[in-house]
Structures are given as structure tokens and as C-alpha cells.
Amino acid sequence: MLQYHTNYEHLCFQERWTITKDIALLLGESIGIIHSITNTPILPEYRRKLLAVALIKGAQATTAIEGNTLTYEEIENIQSGGEVPPSKEYQKQEVRNVITALNTVLRQLVFDKHIEYITPNLLKRFHEMIGRNIGMAFDATPGSFRKRNVIVGNYRPPSSESVPKLIDKLCVWIKKEFQFGESQKIEDAIIQAIVTHLYIAWIHPFSDGNGRTARLVEFFILMRAGIPDIASHILSNHYNETRTMYYRQIEHATQTQDLTKFIFYALQGFRDGLVAVLEQIQESQLVVSWKSHIFDVFKNLKKNKQDLSSMNKRRRELILSLPMDTYFDPSVSTFPNKEIENLYRKVSGRTFLRDIEFLRKLKLLSFEKGKGYRPYFETLKSHMALSIEHDEQLNG
């Protein structure tokens, strides 16, 4: 006979978690990476791309956990005006609702600077946004607490009659516990986001859409604390990619009334996601620096009277057109891409080979036996290392 969890001791509205050494380390690392992301210059165009990716990934992840099967590529296509089969129209609406909700929160917090406490009305407003126009696929009244009792797996959430009181208690408790509005530290906001997410899942205030609402509230708290918007998808993405562990950790916290392991699990994914975002930013910086370096090299050729005008312009276009992370072998395939093929349409194949050798001598291309040629962007890293070494010698 199936046994249901009907003991609600886990809903104690008390600090039942421990900031262990491992959790403190993850928080410290996360905050350090957040500062690096915040203080690293990003080209506006690239930042817009990163934010678009973050919002699509966040929407795909939070809806996928609830059974939505649309892929990242399909959602990207939808955002560009693409359609889906009629059978997936409701899934399209689910994703659109989440993206609209994420954008609404970003606009409110980042652009309008409108800061709010977590309140019952805020939860209802978020729920209405994620449940809008889905029809029968959404088994709840958008924006309204449930009026019936429900069962989730082997967990029976509190009765519908107790939901308003429990949500009121949650909102009062997290305001006092995490001291929002009283110089809240970013580490406290991160813990608040994770804890609030879990409590909403436990109380289960709506008939449907509780997970999406809980993760939207989590997103809201992180954005309110100043987490970079381009990292907004990280926790939802982590929960989706480790979905089995996500449910196991919720179950463990429910049974033990201890949130420590869930917080540690969430923070691991949060830290790793921040690392990935920072690496993307550093990669974009490398691309910008690489292009600037190429122009500097050819500018110096002109100063040294080695410039042959159209010839070096072609060579510069060649190195700018080469993918930074791909090898090419002229003995196997003459041109790496169509852009370069068009560039050399009116000259001989020997000219292409001579230009490659010229770029190699300028240390703009490297060659590796068995792989071929590749842009030698490592020269930027070596210059950086030499610069650091030089500074240390001067300061020594």
C-alpha cells in the first residue's frame, strides 16, 4: 500500500541547515566569479546574445522539468517567429509564458529599479504569468491558490485550507530570516533563493505550476540581489540537467527536515554554471583582443614599409576569416570556408599557400603535424604572461 508523507515538520520556518565548510567555500567561489563577471567589460552585442541564450535556456530548463519536450533549438526558432506542430502549441505557450515572465522580472528589477518583497500577491502574479493561455494543459486557475487537496508522487502537501496561512508565514519568515532591505549580503540572498524555492515546492500553493513558480521566485531573488542577468538561467539549468538528483534532494530534505544537502547540491550547480558563463565572456574577450592584435600587426607592417596594400589587405582578411578553434589542412581541402574561397577566387592556389606561410612567419598562424594550421591566438596569452612577469620585476 502506498504511504504518503503527511507529516509537515519540515515546514518549521526555522533555519534548519548548516553552512558547512564546503558550502562556505562554494559561496565564496560563487561570489568571486560573480564579481569577475560583473566587472568584466563585454561588447553590448555579445552581451545581448548571452542574455538571449540565458533566457531561452532558463525557459527550456524550467519547463522541461515539468514535461515540456521542446528543445533549445526549437525555442530559439519560436523566438524568431517559427511555428510548432499543433500538438505542441501548448508547449510553445508554456515556454513563451516563462520567457515573458523572466523578461518582466528583469525589466522591473534592472531597468525600472522597482524592488519588492516576496508576498502572497507576488507569488500569485508570477503564477498567473506562467499559466496564462495554456488551457487544459494547465490544471490550475492562473493566479489563484488551490481550492482542493492534491498528491504529488508520494507526498501529500498541506490541505488547501492551510495554504494562505502557510504562504503568509513563509513571506514573513524569509523577510526576517534573510534581512532583505537591511544591507542583505549576496551570500544570504543566494541561500534565501534556494530555501524559498524549496518551501514553495513543499507548500505547493497551486494546483499546477508550482515548480515553475518556485524557480521564477528563485530567479527573482537572485536578480534582486544583483546576480548578473546573463547568469539568470544557471539554477534552472542545473536542476533540469540533474533532474533525478533534484527530486532526490527534495525528498531527502523533506524526510530529514534538513536543507543542508539540498543547498550544497544547488550551490555546486550554481558555481559550475557561473564558471561556464565567465569562460564564455573570456572567450569573447579573446576574440576581440585577437582581432585587435591582427590589425596592430598589419599596421606595424605599414610603418616598416613592408605593406603591399591589396596583398596584405587580403592576408589580413584571410586571418580574420579563420575560425579560432578549428584546424585546416590546405593539402586536404583548399579553402576552410566559403568566405575565404571567395577571397581567393581571382588568384592562384599558390598565392593562398604563400599567404599562409606569410601569416605563419608573422606568428598569426601555427602549424601542427597531422592537424594543420590554426590561428595562433596563444601569442596573446604569452604576451599577457610576459606583461605580468615584467610588472612583478618592476615592483620587486
Q: Give tens-digit pLDDT for 90-99.
A: 999 999 999 9
How far, CA to CA in Å, does 92 sit from each of 86, 213, 233, 355?
Answer: 10, 17, 18, 50
Write out the residue limits of the CATH 1.10.10 domain(s) in the chain.
308-395
Q: Is the pLDDT of residue 281 over 80?
A: yes
Binding site listing for ATP: 208-215, 246-247
Other C-beta atoms closer than 10 Å to the C-beta of 300 total 12
pLDDT band, residue 384 (cuts 50/70/90): very low
- May I ask the CATH architecture of the domain 308-395? Orthogonal Bundle (1.10)
Rounded to the nearest integer, the mean pLDDT of the chain is 89
**Residue 234 clears pLDDT 70, i.e. is over it:** yes
Question: 0.85 cut: is pTM over it?
Answer: no
Residue limits of CATH 1.10.3290.10 in the chain: 21-282
Q: What is the pLDDT of residues 309-346, one digit of tens each?
A: 778 888 998 999 888 888 888 877 677 778 888 888 88
The catalytic residues are 204
CATH superfamily of 21-282: Fido-like domain (1.10.3290.10)
Tell me the binding residues. 208-215, 246-247
